[in-house]
Amino acid sequence: MCYAIPGRVESVEGRHVAVSYYGQIKRAVNELYSLSPGDYVYAQGGFVVQKVSPAEAEIILSTWKELFFELQELDSASIRPSLMNIAPDSKLAEILKAAEDVKTLSEDDLTFLLSLEKRSEIDALCGAANRLRHSISQSSCCVHGIIEISNNCRNSCRYCGINNSNARLSRYRMSEDEILSAAREAVAKFGFKSLVLQSGEDCARPIDELVGIVRRLQKDNPVFLIISFGEYVGWSGLEALYDAGARGLLTRFETSNPEIFSKLHPDSTLEERLAFIRRAGEIGYLITSGGLVGLPGQNKRDLARDVLLCRELGSQMYSFGPFIPHPDTALAGRRTASEIEMLKVTAACRLAAPPEAVVPVTSAFETISRDARKKAMQSGANSLMLNLTPLKYRAMYSIYPSRAHESESLDAQIADATDLLKSLGRVPMDIGIRTQRAEISTSASTTP
């Protein structure tokens, strides 16, 4: 399976193109090619990443066509009727209805949703999020691959296993060649169209070197590239990395509660973190942010504020993971967030986020629950992440213990993800940007 299907350019307005995937229209920004209606492209993260010849595109599209509509039907069949099993005049029904009408949810509404305890009510919340996901992004699911390029870190974040005071951890730093060859394999051999490069705040790698890696990676591989190196790159580094071709930034604020933030982060402040993320947004990066669920001292209102902070930051991907205590940190022995808490957060993100934002299933969630992917994808999630870090380094990127996919080959991960997408009726393709609900609901009558 390829990690995105190509689409046909329907119309071009300056940098903005409308791309049709068997009649489903998604918007994308084109910075790279001269495009006209009838051309074929791959898009990721709402950006055109590659133009392909009509002959190549048509072969892929004809192999996919039947399956595409089958999967779409399967997904549609999984959507449950509105507000099943809850009283229609209840507060919950009122909030879910407002959310499905894409009305903005308040902090009180989100706190209420995150505090639900009854199974039937949580099911209604997750069902509403799934229905909204379906109405805004239909069967599309974006698939990213992450390469963790170094576990060296200058910081001492209290929860993180790769913090610089963990002397028990063996450290690694992938060389430029190793990074480029992992990226090349992901793109050329496995068809990934979106990559994340992540590391601890590894000061021993100069920013210029990172910029060079990003530039070469972009030159050789048509891909939507997200960087996640923390704040050490600075504002000037953010600009240089953008100029080199990075288009997404993954930096979590971790918690919107300043007191909890300062207890956990001796090396930075919430204000600085937020200023960094906002600066990236101004430069033009697509922002992925979010936080940890179940941190010591965190309550439901904090989580509601986290979700709203994502929205305020203009985040296009809401990335939340459960806090998992690492034995070699100050928070060893604390409790791990539960599957139910994570499902509520996933659904709350979908209901609170603007339509174009993506909700991923995070690897930490997969670590605490075998069914995380399936259940999260049925609670509003529409994005998956596969781990492309070379196996010899993967276990060393020990931000929390026993990470999912720690020793799983890429082939096995791909087979697994493919089976899951097929069983749920999802198609690996771009979600697009600024897509109007009215526009995407026009159903497929034309095929490319």
Residues that bind ligand 5AD (CB under 6 A): 159-160, 252, 254, 292, 321, 323-324, 326, 364, 399-400
**CB-wise, 28 or 153, nearer to ligand 5AD?**
153
**CB-wise, 393 or 400, nearer to ligand 5AD?**
400
Distances (CA, A) of 2 to 140, 246, 361, 399: 13, 22, 19, 29
- DSSP per-residue codes, 2-35: -SS--EEEEEEETTEEEEEETTEEEEEE--S---
Residue with tokens 């596969």: 386
> Measured from the CB of residue 336, what is the shortest distance to ligand 5AD in angstroms?
8
> Measured from the CB of residue 318, what is the shortest distance to ligand 5AD in angstroms?
13
Contacts of 342 (CB under 8 A, 6+ apart): 293, 320, 321, 322, 365, 368, 369, 372, 376
**CB-wise, 42 or 323, nearer to ligand 5AD?**
323
**374 sits in which H/E element:** helix 372-377
How many degrees, rounded to 5, is the angle at CA 180 between CA 178 and CA 184?
A: 115
The closest of 273, 272, 267, 271 to 289, measured between CA atoms, is 273
**CB-wise, 61 or 324, nearer to ligand 5AD?**
324
> Measured from the CB of residue 400, what is the shortest distance to ligand 5AD in angstroms?
4
Residue with tokens 């509404």: 109
Taking the C-alpha atoms of residue 340 and residue 119, their distance in angstroms, rounded to an integer, is 9
Residue with tokens 């902090």: 107
**CB-wise, 57 or 324, nearer to ligand 5AD?**
324
Q: Is 361 exposed, middle or buried (0-12, 13-18, 19+ CB in 10 A)?
A: buried
> Measured from the CB of residue 366, what is the shortest distance to ligand 5AD in angstroms?
12
Residue with tokens 């029904």: 93
Strand pairing report for 317-318 and 286-289: parallel
> Measured from the CB of residue 306, what is the shortest distance to ligand 5AD in angstroms?
11
* Residue 434 DSSP symbol: S
**CB-wise, 326 or 394, nearer to ligand 5AD?**
326
> Measured from the CB of residue 161, what is the shortest distance to ligand 5AD in angstroms?
6
> Measured from the CB of residue 106, what is the shortest distance to ligand 5AD in angstroms?
26
> Measured from the CB of residue 324, what is the shortest distance to ligand 5AD in angstroms?
4
> Measured from the CB of residue 159, what is the shortest distance to ligand 5AD in angstroms?
4
C-beta separation of 249 from 288 below 8 A: yes
**CB-wise, 44 or 251, nearer to ligand 5AD?**
251
> Measured from the CB of residue 242, what is the shortest distance to ligand 5AD in angstroms?
20
**CB-wise, 188 or 332, nearer to ligand 5AD?**
332
- DSSP per-residue codes, 146-158: EEEEE---S---T
**CB-wise, 136 or 292, nearer to ligand 5AD?**
292
**CB-wise, 193 or 265, nearer to ligand 5AD?**
265
Taking the C-alpha atoms of residue 201 and residue 214, their distance in angstroms, rounded to an integer, is 16
Taking the C-alpha atoms of residue 271 and residue 262, their distance in angstroms, rounded to an integer, is 10
Distances (CA, A) of 269 to 85, 96, 331: 44, 35, 19
